[in-house]
Structure 1
Amino acid sequence: MPSMPIFVDARIPVIFAPVAIAGPEDAVLVEGEIPAPEGVPVARFGPQRPGHGIACACCAPRGPVATALHRLFLARARGEVAMFRRVLVQAGPAGEATVRDAVAQDAFLAGRYRLGAESGL
């Protein structure tokens, strides 16, 4: 019987869910000054600046979401925060759209993170 290849996606899922459910294996990405739970790694991002798209070399090589998720990943890799297995996002509709766009369009983020299914909670 031939063996079937198994694909394991080791990227960290980014899930749009209430951050109140954050557990010990979660990190939180929060827009602006929205309150964040204590005891979990937290990264914050501000609004996307108007103008050119994500990764536009003339304006901003990385957007605020990419910068926040990059800092969170580095802190995890350096052992500065607890090892987390997923990132919960707390943002308004525009912030959620910015996160979705960043994860889909930024090549560095796409190598580390993926959009997760909300039903996987």
Structure 2
Amino acid sequence: MPSDARIPVTILADSDNLAAWLGAGGPAALLTDAPQLGPGFVATERLAPRPAHRFGCACCAGRSAAAMALDRLFQGRARNRTGWFDRVAVVAVSATAREEVAAALREDALALARFRPG
């Protein structure tokens, strides 16, 4: 059975488990909505979830902020603008941000092609 070459994304409940997660594997990227970035990552990207409007207006019909943030991480890696990473940690303060990342990993075709739930 072939292995899955997509980059694993782990959504951590909080930053308390971050040090253990970092120590358990190779180079990592961080996707966060927290005001301060954690140390030890070769790439970081901020996530700013957009509030959903009531009737699915045109500004909400595009790709989610989480999907676009994952794209920026991948493009940075592919274009050698960041260090190489083998996995991504998501530390999101808000439940909205965590759900937006989870939804991108379930529903966004481009994010699914590059990333998988870890």
Normalized against structure 1, the TM-score is what?
0.77
Residue deviations 1:43-88 (CA, integer Å, cap 9, x gap): 11112321279xx793242211111110110000011111100000
Query: Over alpha carbons, which structure has the higher Rg?
Result: 1
Structure 2 partner of 1:42: 44
| Runs ≥4 residues deviating over 6 A | none
Instruction: Flag the structure with higher helix content.
Output: 2
Among 102, 111, 116, the residue aligned to 2:104? 102
Percent same amino acid at aligned positions?
A: 34
Aligned twin of 1:88: 89
Aligned to 1:65: 66
Give the alignment of 1:3-22 within 5 angstroms. 6-17=1-12, 18-20=17-19, 21-22=21-22
Shift in CA distance, 51/32, structure 1 to aligned 2, threshold 3 Å: farther
8 Å Cα contact 1:19-1:37 kept in structure 2: no
Structure 1 residue runs of 5 or longer lacking an equivalent are 1-5, 117-121
Aligned residues, how many?
109
Structure 2 stretches lacking a partner, 5+ long: none
CA distance, structure 2, for counterparts of residue 57 and residue 76 of structure 1: 33
Using the TM superposition, give the Cα deviation of residue 101 of structure 1 relative to its aligned residue in structure 2, in angstroms: 0.6
Rounded to whole Å, the distance in 1 between the matches of 2:58 and 2:35 is 28
Amino acid across the alignment from 2:70: L
1:70/1:11 Cα in 2 relative to 1: closer, same or farther (>3 Å)?
Answer: same
Judged with a 3 Å threshold, the aligned counterparts in structure 2 of structure 1 residues 101 and 39 are, in CA distance, closer, same or farther, namely closer
